[in-house]
Every structure is written in structure tokens, then in C-alpha cells.
């Protein structure tokens, strides 16, 4: 879902770099941080659904991708694509996103328990990695090449 800056001010209270999602989402502790932003645990206020709130910084190098509704930030376009049918239950779904000056805010589903791929792979030996995976390499390739 695309939300304009006018709508954004109705959904967020902004205090410096800290963005607290008021009314719609309650922001919890940080789950992780990378080169492009941070991910926090969150809860959707309306029904208690656990979500991940991802803040992605905008910079001069961010890429846009042509989708049906015009240019979208690359990460939003890719998440929209993998969240559409046919859906893979192993891929997190993008629930909605917001465009704010300086950053994008993505709201993703957050299943429990959930770990990032790097953490899972670092705890498994090479031989156990494919045994643990619930899909085959060819399924991964097919999913990645899906248009």
C-alpha cells in the first residue's frame, strides 16, 4: 500500500531519528541492522498481529523499478512481486509501506519463531544446510526467476 506524506503524518509521530508508529503499529525492540536500514519488532494495534517494521534509508544510489503503478523503490517493488500470487509461505509478505522524506518504512509479517537466513546458515554445517531447507535448489531458482 502506498501512503503519501500527508497520510504519513497521520500515522507516525516523529522525534529525531526515532519513529514511533502511533495508532496503527506499536514499535518494539530492534531485531537487526544492516547497511541500508534497521528492522524492529512491532505489533499491529488493530488485531495484535506481530509485524516487522523496516526502515530503509533513501540515498542517491537507491534504485527504482517499473511496476504497474509507476516507479517504486527497488526493495518495495521486489517485495511486492514476491508477495503476490503464487505465494510462497517461506517468504515474508509485505503488508504495506510508507514513503517518508529520507526513508521508506516497510511493514512485513513477522512469524514466530523467525530467524534471518545468515543466522540459520551460520549455525548449520554445509551438509545440513540443504537437508534443513524445505525446498530444493531448483525451487529456489524458479522462485527467484519468476516474473
Question: Per residue in 78-104, pLDDT tens?
Answer: 888 887 778 777 788 899 888 877 788
pLDDT tens digits, 3-18: 444 333 333 444 444 4
Instruction: Give the fold, CATH level 3, of 5-114.
Output: Phosphorylase Kinase; domain 1 (3.30.200)
Nearest Cα to Cα of residue 110 among 48, 58, 37, 60: 48
| pTM, rounded to two decimals | 0.65
Tell whether 54 is in a known binding site: yes
Q: Could you tell me the three cell numbers for 15? A: 522525534
As to burial, measured by CB atoms within 10 angstroms (0-12 exposed, 13-18 middle, 19+ buried), residue 33 is exposed
What residue segments make up the domains of the chain, in order of their start? 5-114, 116-147
Amino acid at each position: 500500500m502506498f501512503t503519501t506524506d500527508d497520510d504519513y503524518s497521520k500515522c507516525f509521530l516523529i522525534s529525531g531519528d526515532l519513529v514511533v508508529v502511533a495508532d496503527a503499529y506499536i514499535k518494539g525492540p530492534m531485531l537487526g541492522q544492516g547497511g541500508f536500514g534497521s528492522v524492529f519488532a512491532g505489533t499491529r494495534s488493530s488485531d495484535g498481529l506481530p509485524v516487522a517494521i523496516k526502515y530503509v534509508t533513501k540515498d542517491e544510489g537507491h534504485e527504482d523499478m517499473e511496476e504497474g503503478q509507476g516507479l517504486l523503490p527497488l526493495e518495495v517493488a521486489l517485495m511486492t512481486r514476491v508477495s503476490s500470487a503464487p505465494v510462497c509461505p517461506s517468504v515474508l509478505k509485505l503488508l504495506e509501506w510508507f514513503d517518508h522524506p529520507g526513508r521508506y518504512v516497510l511493514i512485513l509479517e513477522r512469524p514466530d519463531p523467525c530467524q534471518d537466513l545468515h543466522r540459520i546458515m551460520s549455525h548449520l554445517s554445509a551438509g545440513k544446510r540443504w537437508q534443513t531447507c524445505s525446498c530444493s535448489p531448483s525451487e529456489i531458482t524458479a522462485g527467484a526467476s519468476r516474473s
